[in-house]
Amino acid sequence: MTLLDHPRADSPLEDAPASAPDAPTVHPAAVIDWVAELAELMQPADIHWCDGSTRERHELLQLLVANGTLEQLNPELRPYSFLARSHEADVARLESRTFICSAEKIDAGPTNNWAEPTRMRAELTDLMRGSMRGRTMYVMPFSMGPVGSPMAKLGVQVTDSPYVVVSTGSMTRMGTAALEEIAAGAEWVPAIHTVGAPLAPGEKDVAWPCNDTKYIVHFPETREIFSYGSAYGGNAILAKKAFALRIASVQARDEGWLAEHMLLIKVTAPTGRAYHLAAAFPSACGKTNLAMLSPSIPGWKVETIGDDIAWLRIGADGRLRAINPEAGFFGVAPGTSAKTNPTAMDTLWGNTVFTNVARTEDGDVWWEGMTSTPPAHLTDWRGNAWTPDSGVPAAHPNSRFTVSARQCPSIASTWEDPEGVVIDAIIFGGRRATNVPLVVEARDWDHGVFLGATIASEQTAAAEGTVGELRRDPFAMLPFCGYNMGDYFAHWLDFGRRLRRSARVPRVFQVNWFRKGADGSFLWPGFGDNARVLQWMVERLDGTAGAVDSPLGSIPTADGLNLDGLDIDESRLGELFAQDREALRVEADDIETFFATFGDRMPAELDRQLELLRRRLAD
């Protein structure tokens, strides 16, 4: 048996049984046959079709506690919440082991790892043969987006990790309702996951089963996902980055929409008028903080629609609309506190699964930045005794929380609107100590695409690489675009042309909360005060805020930003918006080098935008 055929193809895998054990009450034949084929190959001891019920979740959580994967936290302090400690080699996204197996290498592009599809399928088949022995195969039908929404997409993932089932249950609309949509004829994305740790008869399991060999593989033409060896986060919760971005970005290109690494917020001004903004930031660069912003300025309100992924389409009314395809938050814990993100802390009151954070002596959780002073004694993310003198972090820098979005106090009433919310503006941002001002407004859509294509950010702990190193991360999609990014840029440009023909084009902005002064300190207070930048954007939409031109775009006039109550003098404000022409000319050369990696797939319009930037810097 091989995995050479798509599960919905006319020629099924050889010798496949007609149905799978424990089949659901609704009968999408293609799914049932596919599960049976995989069961023959992977040889699980049992098959469980997930219904997404509260009872099922409870039983899985108790199983995980019994297996030692989860530890239940003190119910008086953190009701019905749990702590997982992963294997030390399974703590982050594995970009080096993530592959795009397009039919042609050029279609994967220079920013993706490519492998020849037939050879990769054969290798995965060998790895997955017998990989679920001694374990249960869980079958998870799920909807990305509200079930039944015209903007939603469906998938089915098999896994042998109950931890992944619980996580997927938080992050998607998982269960019977999604399977019924598939049974009614909806298309679905097949996703196969195994931790790659079969159990021999009588063999004792480990708390966090995984394998040193790891693969996260995508077949964009056939919309398939395979994951082997990891049980961590986006490597294993395949509905998240693998489907909602890598596969969905290809679907979006082919179908004329956008699948983006973006948060979604609703901003309401003191006048009562509401605006919806989409914003792209690399992981661990403040996305969740902005998505759950508590404004420091009176009369302004920010509500959450999504903190990580947005799907955007031109609606029937010709306007740009967006949904959050996820149902939960998979957030970075370190740095989250009552000061930086009080809404997130309130969201985590209970019903939360924490991974790789520290445990307090009284059975609660802690991580760096949660309090100004660390507790005297903790159990760290490895399970070892810890004190402030230990010399190592108590929580892993990429430790996480997984929680339902419904618990978020700032969740907008429209967050599950099946038609999506109308997008008024798009924001791009990264973590830059120099060169990039606090905020600039693009001159038009094409210039906005240039801003998105040239985002660079200091490396964070969310992915492999040297922390602090600067890397280009266009649209914050570098690890997540499922096809050649030169074609991706062209798709954005074409999408803008379609918007111009139909309705008002959203404004585009770029922000940088992380600009540093000559003394190395941050120039902008950030967090709740970021609402002041949002206020300027909204007032630009209304035509009431002033702006002046600069080489990089429009910036606020001297009195354009609301600085009431802030201790920011004229000199510091000048540093926030300073544009060193020589440094920017050097950066333009770096952008040219980056663009050149895409060869003839690079849209001429973005090369033109780079030339226009150079002219403005020369004036």
List, for residues 197-215, the tens digit of each pLDDT value. 999 999 999 999 999 999 9
Quote the number of domains for the chain. Answer: 3
Give the position of tokens 């019994």.
66
Q: Is the dihedral of CA 250, 256, 262, 265 positive or negative?
A: negative
Contact status, residue 243 vs residue 225, Cβ threshold 8 Å: yes
Convert the pLDDT of each residue in 478-536 to its tens digit: 999 999 999 999 999 999 999 998 878 999 999 999 999 989 999 999 999 999 999 99
Q: Residue 17: what pLDDT?
A: 37
Convert the pLDDT of each residue in 386-412 to its tens digit: 999 999 999 999 999 999 999 999 999
Looking at the domain assignment, is residue 10 inside a domain? no
Looking at the domain assignment, is residue 1 inside a domain? no
The order of strands in the sheet holding 310-314 is 258-260, 310-314, 320-323, 421-422
Q: Residue 466: what pLDDT?
A: 55
Provide the CB-side half-sphere exposure for 408 (13 A, CA).
32
CB atoms closer than 10 angstroms to residue 285: 25
Looking at the domain assignment, is residue 130 inside a domain? yes
Tokens standing for 616? Answer: 């403005």
The answer to whether residue 330 scores a pLDDT higher than 80 is yes
Coil, strand or helix at 93: strand
Q: Residue 138: what pLDDT?
A: 98
Give the position of tokens 């009552």.
338
CATH number for the domain spanning 395: value is 2.170.8.10
Q: Residue 526: what pLDDT?
A: 94
Contact status, residue 489 vs residue 449, Cβ threshold 8 Å: yes
Residue by residue, DSSP assigns 225-282 as: EEEES--SHHHH-TIIIIIIIIIHHHHHHHHT-EEESEEEEEEE-TTS-EEEEEEE--
Confidence of residue 186 (pLDDT cuts 50, 70, 90): very high
Contact status, residue 378 vs residue 444, Cβ threshold 8 Å: no
CATH number for the domain spanning 304: value is 3.90.228.20
**361 and 225, same structural domain?**
no
Q: Residue 21: what pLDDT?
A: 54
Looking at the domain assignment, is residue 18 inside a domain? no
Pick from 202-206, 391-395, 459-463, 605-609: least confident: 459-463
Average pLDDT value for residue range 255-282: 97
**317 and 373, same structural domain?**
no
What is the residue-averaged pLDDT of the chain? 94
Give the position of tokens 């895409």.
598
Convert the pLDDT of each residue in 343-378 to its tens digit: 999 999 999 999 999 999 999 999 999 999 999 999
Contact status, residue 500 vs residue 319, Cβ threshold 8 Å: no
Convert the pLDDT of each residue in 555-581 to its tens digit: 999 999 999 999 999 999 999 999 999
Looking at the domain assignment, is residue 598 inside a domain? yes
CB atoms closer than 10 angstroms to residue 615: 10
**576 and 456, same structural domain?**
yes
Q: What count of residues does the chain have?
A: 619
**599 and 522, same structural domain?**
yes
**476 and 349, same structural domain?**
no
Q: Residue 23: what pLDDT?
A: 65
Average pLDDT value for residue range 59-87: 98
CATH number for the domain spanning 128: value is 3.40.449.10
Q: Residue 14: what pLDDT?
A: 32
User: What does the DSSP 8-state code read for residue 611?
Assistant: H
* Pairing assessment for the beta strands 470-472 and 456-458 based on DSSP bridges: antiparallel
Confidence of residue 457 (pLDDT cuts 50, 70, 90): confident
Q: What percent of the chain has pLDDT over 70?
A: 94
**609 and 513, same structural domain?**
yes
The answer to whether residue 4 scores a pLDDT higher than 60 is no
Residue 10 CA to residue 20 CA, distance in Å, equals 19
**370 and 323, same structural domain?**
no
* Pairing assessment for the beta strands 224-228 and 215-219 based on DSSP bridges: antiparallel
Q: Residue 89: what pLDDT?
A: 95
Q: Residue 463: what pLDDT?
A: 52
Q: What percent of the chain has pLDDT over 90?
A: 90
Q: Residue 18: what pLDDT?
A: 38
**483 and 395, same structural domain?**
no
Closest CA to 532 of 345, 269, 289, 303: 269
| Residues tagged active-site | 285
Looking at the domain assignment, is residue 93 inside a domain? no
Amino acid at position 132, single letter: M
The answer to whether residue 419 scores a pLDDT higher than 90 is yes
Buried b (16+ CB within 10 A) or exposed e, 110-123: bbbebbebeebbeb
The order of strands in the sheet holding 547-550 is 301-306, 262-268, 274-280, 425-429, 507-511, 439-441, 553-556, 547-550
Pick from 102-111, 277-286, 433-442: least confident: 277-286
Q: Residue 1: what pLDDT?
A: 42
Domain termination site, one of 404, 436, 462: 404
The answer to whether residue 152 scores a pLDDT higher than 80 is yes
Provide the CB-side half-sphere exposure for 439 (13 A, CA).
26
Domain span at residue 392 reads: 329-404
Domain termination site, one of 218, 238, 256: 256
Average pLDDT value for residue range 104-112: 98
Q: Residue 15: what pLDDT?
A: 34
Contact status, residue 418 vs residue 149, Cβ threshold 8 Å: yes
Residue 381 CA to residue 21 CA, distance in Å, equals 38
Q: Residue 5: what pLDDT?
A: 52
Tokens standing for 431? Answer: 């973590």
**398 and 343, same structural domain?**
yes
